[in-house]
Chain A
Amino acid sequence: MRTLTYRDALREAIREEMQRDERVFILGEDIAGYGGTYAVSKGLFEEFGEKRVRDTPLAEEVITGAAIGAALGGLRPIIELMTINFSLLASDQIVNQAAKFRYMFGGQPEMPLVIRMPGGGGAQRGAQHSQSLESWYAHIPGLKVVMPATPYDAKGMLKAAVRDPDPVLFIEHELLYNIKGEVPDEDVEYTVPLNRGEVKRQGQHVTIVTYSRMLHVTLQAAEDLAKEGIEAEVIDLRSIRPIDIDLLIDSVKKTNRVIIAQEGWKYYGTGQGLAALIYEYAFDYMDAPIQHVTSADVPMPYSKVLERAALPNKNDIVNAAKAIVPAALVRA
């Protein structure tokens, strides 16, 4: 094992897949000469050349549409959209085209397409650059939506996404690129499935289900809770469409209490969708109402103090746990 940043893990995944399969290529804004807005593709242009590392004009709709066409034409494109906020300019191609073709054309087209893009807030980038829009896309049948939180999962899931025959939205987080984590040595080939969550911490008092950057906040909260005797089980969903509901339900049956921690807004999103599934499949096991830790229901403010107040934090999770885990249970 080595220690790599999330950014370097992504780049390794892309490089290895490009070396393995001539059909794999990347396209996006400023990914070649500039090296990628978040430096994920740095060096790939020098290694693979302009045929396979393609700078595009600032035109999200045609970047996405062209990648859809390239995938239909037998290639395996990886798009980098500069941020998920800009994906709205490509939303017709993602929602009306990529998600629909397989079904609408009776199972004939195959579209092995990966759309990489970072989302999330926390860097004072303001209302138009800080959104968590994964729930919009996770609503759509025909798409896969994955959000790995660690360098290990980022590399393994990106490799799996490139090999997957369906369109995959691979959503990163602007504040994850510099985090470090263990990744197998370069000669160790591995992938991480796109439909499995993972228990990142075992516990018996409460299940905290989360994904992406909030995993790290949740793990810190779990440490704090442990000091007070509350053992939280932390589930990293990794993929939100499809969703590993069995893993979640098994945990709920053990802990009987659930906190959902996500960076996106509360209403009509992934968290509320999860809550509905938990009530549907594990209502009889629930001993307390589901707690939901999210961003404030406002456009993201720029001000440092306001942004910090808008984002969910460690204390929000700790307080949510204390609200539903009785002291008597902890002492027992």
Chain B
Amino acid sequence: MAISNVTLAGLTRTQLLETHYKMALLRRFEEKAAEEYTRGKIAGFMHLYIGQEAVGVGCITAMRPDDKVLSSYREHGQAILKGMDPGVVMAELFGKITGCSKGKGGSMHMWSNELGLLGGNAIVAAQLPIAAGIALAMQYQGLDTIVVCFFGDGAVDEGAFHEALNLASIWKLPVIFICENNQYSMGMAVEKAWAVDSLLPRAAAYNMPYEQVDGMDVIQVYEAAKRAVEHTRSGQGPLLLEIKTYRFRGHSMTDPAYYRTREEEQQWRTTRDPIGIFEKKLLDLDLATQAEFDENDARAIQAAEDAAEYADNSPDPTLDELYTDVMVDNSTALSFRYERN
């Protein structure tokens, strides 16, 4: 039976079980989202995080609540981990007025000023320069808030990656760049896209500390992120983490994944599932029981169901929302004068 005062990576048993619950929640939430997508309740592009849960959970657990997060279009998980109600995330997927972006953003565009979740960006690597700028604002105002910027291995190939890391380094900005290397930028295998086999030489080019982490082990991710947070919050400047992971689903809901084999996927799912790995670790250390995992999972399934129910029962935006939010003073929008009735 588990002993409550044993810790792992400085986390209490309660915190470890909470970590497990968060991973289960992201998994069950997205399975539910996929189901709703198939039912036609969700449209457009939707990119699932399934398989990569340990990255978001490990990193955001190591952050302070007031720290800022920017991410790519694969950001449902980060939104929930920053504290967004799963119902509000699901409502955004459904395009409802109760969604975090009033149904105007969709799957790829989640935001909350209060929670410090600053997008959801659907242009690959565009969030990196912006993250550097938010970090500049924190530094300029003498705050010890830091910025964590998530992106995929494809973003490394964009020019914005280079420009942002270089600027962050020369200005010693409090930003942590986290590459979630899930091995494919859409269908392009990372070893075909990169001239180097890790980001170490890239980090060296920007005179920036670097660590490569096993993204399927939430404890390793958490410990690396904690070191990174301490480094950056203490004023030592930016840092690059390369967290190696694997997305179990296609790039988006419409991707049949012809570019990789079913055997490869199966291999990852059966031997490298981040939830399975974490459960085994906790069981081996007698830190939790299967019954506790089952309870977490049941709770996660219920939360996902509740989120979908909330989204489904929420109203669509009214048509007058079409013309709001273009500008802060909306009377300065052309549409306000010429199109709005």
Contact = CB atoms under 8 A, between A and B. Distances in A.
Contacts of B121: 97
Given A69-B129, A105-B109, A166-B327, A57 B332 contact: no
Interface residues on A, range: 35 or more
Contacts of B140: 25, 51, 70, 75
A57 B131 CA distance: 17
Interface in B101-152: 101-105, 109, 111-113, 118-121, 123, 126, 128-138, 140-141
Nearest to B111: A105
Nearest to A102: B325
B160 interface: yes
Interface string B82-109: 0000000000000000011111110001
B34 interface: no
Which of A106, A110, A195, A242 counts the most chain B CB atoms within 10 A?
A106
A73 B308 CA distance: 33
Contacts of A71: 133, 137
B33 interface: no
B148 to A, nearest CB: 13
A323 B140 CA distance: 58
Nearest to B136: A70
Contact of B167 (A51, A56, A141, A165): A56
Contacts of A109: 111, 113, 118
Interface in A52-104: 54, 56-57, 59, 61-62, 64-75, 77, 92-93, 96-97, 101-104
Nearest to B175: A69
A104 B101 contact: yes
Given A106-B99, A109-B111, A141-B335, A165 B329 contact: yes
Nearest to A64: B129
Contacts of A242: 332-334, 337
Contacts of A74: 137, 141
B160 A104 contact: no
Nearest to B92: A106
Contact of B332 (A64, A92, A107, A194): A194
B154 to A, nearest CB: 15
Contacts of B112: 108
A238 interface: no
A73 B332 contact: no
A166 B170 CA distance: 28
B300 interface: no
Contact of B325 (A77, A106, A194, A195): A106
Contacts, number: 154
A65 B329 CA distance: 23
Nearest to B173: A66
Given A57-B166, A74-B141, A92 B134 contact: no
B326 interface: yes
B215 to A, nearest CB: 26
B164 interface: yes
B126 A72 contact: no
A243 interface: yes
Contact of B160 (A51, A62, A70, A166): A62
B1 interface: no
B133 A67 contact: yes
Interface residues on B, range: 35 or more
A243 B332 CA distance: 9
Interface in B284-341: 324-329, 332-335, 337-338
B163 interface: yes
A57 B129 CA distance: 13
A54 B170 CA distance: 12
Nearest to A72: B134
Contact of B132 (A54, A62, A102, A141): A62
A107 B109 CA distance: 12
Given A93-B126, A105-B111, A72 B160 contact: no
A105 B166 contact: no
Contacts of B170: 57
A97 B337 contact: no
Which of A57, A66, A71 counts the most chain B CB atoms within 10 A?
A66
A7 B324 CA distance: 37
Interface in A153-206: 165-166, 194-195
B137 A245 contact: no
A110 B327 CA distance: 9
Nearest to A109: B111
A73 B119 contact: no
A241 interface: yes
21 contacts: A57-B163, A57-B167, A61-B160, A62-B128, A64-B129, A66-B132, A67-B133, A69-B134, A71-B133, A72-B133, A72-B137, A73-B138, A75-B141, A97-B121, A97-B126, A102-B328, A103-B104, A105-B101, A141-B334, A144-B327, A166-B329
Interface of A: 25, 51, 54, 56-57, 59, 61-62, 64-75, 77, 92-93, 96-97, 101-110, 141-142, 144, 165-166, 194-195, 241-243, 245
